Amino acid sequence: MSEKQEWFRLDNSGKVYPEVYSERESHTYRVQVELIEEIDPIILQEATNQILKRFPMFKVKLKHGFFLTYLDYNPKDLIVKEITHKLCSTIDFHANRGYLFKVLYRHNIIALEMFHSLADGAGVMAFLVAMVFQYLKLKGYPVKPENMVLTVDQKPRDEEFEDANQIYYDKTNHKQTKQTKAYRLTGTMLQENDTGLITGIMSTTKVLEYCRSIGLTITEFLTSLFIYSIYQAQIQNRENVSREYPIKIAVPVNLRRFFPTHTLRNFSNVMTTQIEIQRDDLSLEEITSIIKKQLLEETKREVLLRKLSVFVKYGNFPLFRFLPYFIKKFMLKFGYKILAGKVTSASVTNIGIIRFPESVKPYIKGVTAILGAGKNSKKNCSIITYEDKLKISFARSIIETDTERFFFRYLTDIGIEIELVSNYAECYPILVRNKRNKNQDFTTKTSK
């Protein structure tokens, strides 16, 4: 495959997002790396220009044909911009020169904000690691790829472009299961489509030791604790608790762990966990027992393959494929309006362990992942690990932080020390409109 590919189809996972994104539902997420020194925006711009030649599947713009939406080669340069108080906001593709992602910087942070149609967390982290590596190289530091980085002197491989969903599609295993309604979080919406953020930073070793002591993985424990926190903060003290819909948490899973591929495009699926609310004395132990069994079941290869094949089946349906684009758009919008936010309460995404070459590590302070929130999914949790730093980030579209407070208080009660960082989004209308504070940095307030 040539460095410049004229166009390619959206993968099955990414087809719906261009038709349903809005100011309140951006379908955007952020990954960022914190360096030990201030970012030089001129060098970052050059690193971005160079690394996009290595990742041509990201050097694209969204186009609409008569039958389909597709990704077309973008000849323009992407312009890096300074981080503002807006977090995981809707990307204005026209203002962004057609690109489906942003490269941002502030102080010592390099960030990528990505529209979900383009790639999942695994693909974006490969891109971010490569960008940081190229930036440090242009700065003159003695960094080496050590077979861990996709570098600009490598030719893109064909398999990096592939739609792995189509490759592993199983025509004999695509039975769809019925989706039931989920409990919906409540709260006061933040103004101007702002996103609140609270991040807890703690020792990976301490958390892992505790999880092993109770026979759980980090994902199993933190997903269970999130559910328990929602239950404690919003449900337990209500009248008629048993009438509430179940708390259902979506847990994305990287399918590359189960189906071999080198694709840098979307190749993930969603595991569904749920807890029925039948009484007001549910314990965390009961919840962890149920969630552990559900996640074990959901990660069976045949279950993952069935879910993958369901999406591909509908995308490949002949009648749908040859419908005009405007009819497809109407159908997708209508289907999303009926289902969105009704079948899940929130999401927990664990990006996993991020690794840099040994020669790069001296320049890295930390890594953060943030899954944006919106009208339907009002709180989302993202987990990422780098060295002995485990970061848990809660993004929210509402003012209330009672769920997060219970979550982190529980962790401190079991002996895990936490540093908390908040952007205090509920203060934005005051700070942004106050000219005296227009240069104030209110994205890094910290407490122990």
What residues make up the domain containing 291?
191-447
Query: Is residue 62, in this structure, part of any structural domain at all?
Result: yes
Provide the residue type at 257 as one letter. Answer: R
Neighbours of 259 (CB within 10 A): 16
Domain presence at residue 388: yes
Q: Is residue 121 one of the residues assigned to a domain? A: yes
Same domain, 395 and 330: yes
Q: Is residue 68 very low, low, confident or very high in pLDDT (cuts 50, 70, 90)?
A: confident
Strands (DSSP E) contained in 314-434 are: 346-353, 364-371, 379-386, 389-396, 419-422
Give me the phi and psi of 64, to 5 degrees please: -115, 120
Is residue 326 situated within a structural domain? yes
Per-residue pLDDT band at 433 (split at 50, 70, 90): very low
Same domain, 162 and 279: no
Q: What average pLDDT score do residues 34-44 get?
A: 97
- Statement to judge: residues 383 and 237 lie in one domain: yes
Q: Do 134 and 249 lie in a common domain?
A: no
How many folded domains does the chain comprise? Answer: 2
CA distance 298 to 136: 40
pLDDT tens for residues 378-399?
Answer: 999 999 999 999 999 999 999 9
112 confidence band (pLDDT: 50, 70, 90): very high
Distance CA 356, CA 368 (A): 14
Residues 303, 383 within the same domain: yes
- Please indicate, yes or no, whether residues 379 and 410 belong to a single structural domain of this protein: yes
Question: Is 176 part of any domain?
Answer: no
**In angstroms, rounded to a whole number, what is the distance separating the alpha carbons of residues 53 and 325?**
31
Considering the domain architecture, whether residues 238 and 319 belong to the same structural domain is answered as yes
Same domain, 241 and 139: no
111 touches 41 (CB < 8 A): no
Confidence bin at 318 (pLDDT 50/70/90)? low
What is the model's pTM? 0.91
CATH of residue 273's domain is 3.30.559.30
If asked whether residues 136 and 228 sit together in one domain, one would say no
Residue 20's pLDDT band, with cuts at 50, 70 and 90, is low
More confident residue, 346 or 1: 346
pLDDT digits (tens, 9 = 90+) for 400-426: 999 999 999 999 999 999 999 998 887
Residues 271 and 337 in one domain: yes
> In the predicted model, is pLDDT for residue 1 greater than 50?
no
| Residues 279 and 389 occupy one common structural domain | yes
Give the residue from 102, 133, 168 where a domain finishes: 168
Ordered DSSP codes for 193-256:
G--EEEEEEEEHHHHHHHHHHTT--HHHHHHHHHHHHHIIIIITTSTTGGGSPPEEEEEEEEGG
Kindly state whether residue 175 falls inside one of the protein's structural domains: no
Q: CATH number, domain at 110?
A: 3.30.559.10
Would residue 43 count as lying in a domain? yes
pLDDT digits (tens, 9 = 90+) for 176-220: 777 788 999 999 999 888 999 999 999 999 999 999 999 999 999
**Claim to verify: residue 220 and residue 133 sit in the same structural domain:** no
Q: 154: closest CA among 303, 271, 3?
A: 3
